A and B are shown apart, each in its own frame.
Chain A
């Protein structure tokens, strides 16, 4: 389809050509905002370290592994999360749980000896959470994941089993 160009002449009125009226209008708008900020202390800034932004419940932040009432992790080292992970950041070493430490019996015979997540590789897609048949690995709402050393960014089982309330 050929483009049809329609030229509409919209001549400026002399007030528009003069330009100063528009400037005064603009100045009044900024003055209004200035008064709002200066006298009424209105602002839209979230004062970050003191006030934190509320994210939705579906936000995907730092990982954790849910535990049962005996503080035993729900993970059974089935490798599903490691397989589905597109960033390949999960490394699991499976082992057998000692029968004395396993009151749940056959339900939790298998356990992860190591469960490492390289958070620098993780892309927080949430596939591991979806793949997990035991609802063991989850993504919390924690978003402050800065660390002072590279080794701190590799989450081990002890860190992942931390207590998380709600979505964290």
Chain B
């Protein structure tokens, strides 16, 4: 590995991890301000401009709190749970491509941290790890509320993972690859010149099922059953305080970012330029020296902006849905997962297989 490889890898990691982590305070702020706007309130607006520093102040408070570990917990797993909670979504972000490639000093820099052929498997593995902090945190806390929350949470996440996997499988049949970069490239075409061949347009039912199950995977409303203020206090993180709770909190939002990146990559064209961005690229490209390298860099920059906008939109939808829908009852949640989404995704998978067998090949 040359020094250049090392530096470009480090820079990419700094960008992705930095963006994912530094978007969290803003997301928390937006969650609170956005909910306030939706409910005719004002929300936090005292700390900093527009209250933007409110979450910074909250994190500062969490840092300064006493790091207290209750005496009755299983210390190793108790401390392991928040670490996994944060590491799993960050690990999954490593394979998300955020641009085709840039040219730096005549060398090609692929804008994806881990270019592995089985990218989607890697991603699913890390997304599946998100069940562990719920189970470990709940069980290691040695508390009835946390165990109940953990059981509810893990059964919810495991049952929705099936529907999620099925809808991803249907996309695999269409794309014919596990490589996320190739998947995005596949979605780069367009019909009639202006409708992009995004996965959501080819397989809308799969996209819908995936979208619903991703809400359950990230424990967001209307599927936030692992926590329940009314019946099980804080759920699996009842016994956590200070920054250990802060890490769970952080992980929830990083998982949201990861889920948004995943759905925009699989179903909404990934880093492909948004409609109309092609004109922008050629307009900005006119101001460069016109070399293919410079043009490629301009294109990569706009691809990065495109996926950022897509991720931002889905993050907005996460917040939007949270403040619109009430939560499900647990049996309704299981009914929806096993009796509706699972058969539907299975039928959808079969239909996609037949369609691609008869029409594509």
Whether A34 lies near B37 (C-beta < 8 A) is yes
Q: Tally chain B residues at the interface, Cβ within 8 Å.
A: 13
Whether B324 lies near A23 (C-beta < 8 A) is yes
* Chain B nearest CB, measured from A126 CB (Å): 34
Quick one: CB contact mask for B140-180 with A, threshold 8 Å, 1 for yes? Answer: 00000000000000000000000000000000000000000
CA distance A37 to B42 in the complex (A): 8
Whether B41 lies near A44 (C-beta < 8 A) is yes
Chain A residue nearest in CB terms to B37: A37
Please tell me if A120 contacts chain B, counting CB pairs below 8 Å.
Answer: no
Residues from 21 to 66 in A contacting B, C-beta threshold 8 Å: 23, 26-27, 29-31, 33-34, 36-38, 42-45, 47
Please tell me if B104 contacts chain A, counting CB pairs below 8 Å.
Answer: no
For A29, list chain B residues within 8 Å (CB): 324
* Chain B nearest CB, measured from A28 CB (Å): 9
* Chain A nearest CB, measured from B163 CB (Å): 15
Whether A30 lies near B40 (C-beta < 8 A) is no
For A37, list chain B residues within 8 Å (CB): 36-38, 40-41
Please tell me if B1 contacts chain A, counting CB pairs below 8 Å.
Answer: no
For B41, list chain A residues within 8 Å (CB): 37, 43-45
CB within 8 A of B40: which of A27, A31, A42, A47? A42
Please tell me if B320 contacts chain A, counting CB pairs below 8 Å.
Answer: yes
CB within 8 A of A43: which of B34, B42, B323, B324? B42
For A33, list chain B residues within 8 Å (CB): 37-40
* Chain B nearest CB, measured from A95 CB (Å): 51
Whether A30 lies near B323 (C-beta < 8 A) is yes
Q: Tally chain A residues at the interface, Cβ within 8 Å.
A: 16
Chain A residue nearest in CB terms to B316: A34
Whether B34 lies near A34 (C-beta < 8 A) is yes
Please tell me if B105 contacts chain A, counting CB pairs below 8 Å.
Answer: no
CA distance A33 to B320 in the complex (A): 11
For A44, list chain B residues within 8 Å (CB): 40-41
Whether A30 lies near B42 (C-beta < 8 A) is no
CA distance A44 to B42 in the complex (A): 8
A43-B42, A45-B42 known; A27 vs B37 contact (CB < 8 Å): no
* Chain B nearest CB, measured from A23 CB (Å): 7
Whether B320 lies near A34 (C-beta < 8 A) is yes
Please tell me if B325 contacts chain A, counting CB pairs below 8 Å.
Answer: yes
For B116, list chain A residues within 8 Å (CB): none
CA distance A37 to B40 in the complex (A): 6
A23-B325, A26-B325, A38-B37 known; A31 vs B42 contact (CB < 8 Å): no
Please indicate which of the listed interface residues A42, A45, A47 has the most CB atoms of chain B within 10 Å of its own CB. A45
Chain B residue nearest in CB terms to A24: B324
CA distance A15 to B39 in the complex (A): 27
* Chain A nearest CB, measured from B334 CB (Å): 16
CA distance A34 to B324 in the complex (A): 11
Whether A26 lies near B40 (C-beta < 8 A) is no
Quick one: CB contact mask for A124-151 with B, threshold 8 Å, 1 for yes? Answer: 0000000000000000000000000000
Q: A23-B324, A43-B36 are known contacts; what are 15 more A-B pairs with Cβ within 8 Å?
A: A23-B325, A27-B320, A27-B324, A29-B324, A30-B324, A34-B37, A36-B37, A37-B38, A37-B40, A42-B40, A43-B37, A43-B40, A43-B41, A44-B40, A45-B40
Offer 22 A-B interface pairs, CB within 8 angstroms, sorted by A: A23-B324, A26-B325, A27-B320, A27-B324, A30-B323, A33-B37, A33-B38, A33-B40, A34-B37, A34-B38, A36-B37, A36-B40, A37-B36, A37-B38, A37-B41, A38-B37, A43-B36, A43-B40, A43-B41, A44-B40, A45-B41, A45-B42
Question: What residues make up the interface of B, taking CB atoms closer than 8 Å to A?
Answer: 34, 36-42, 320-321, 323-325
The 7 closest A-B pairs by CB, nearest first: A37-B37, A30-B324, A45-B42, A30-B38, A44-B40, A26-B324, A33-B38
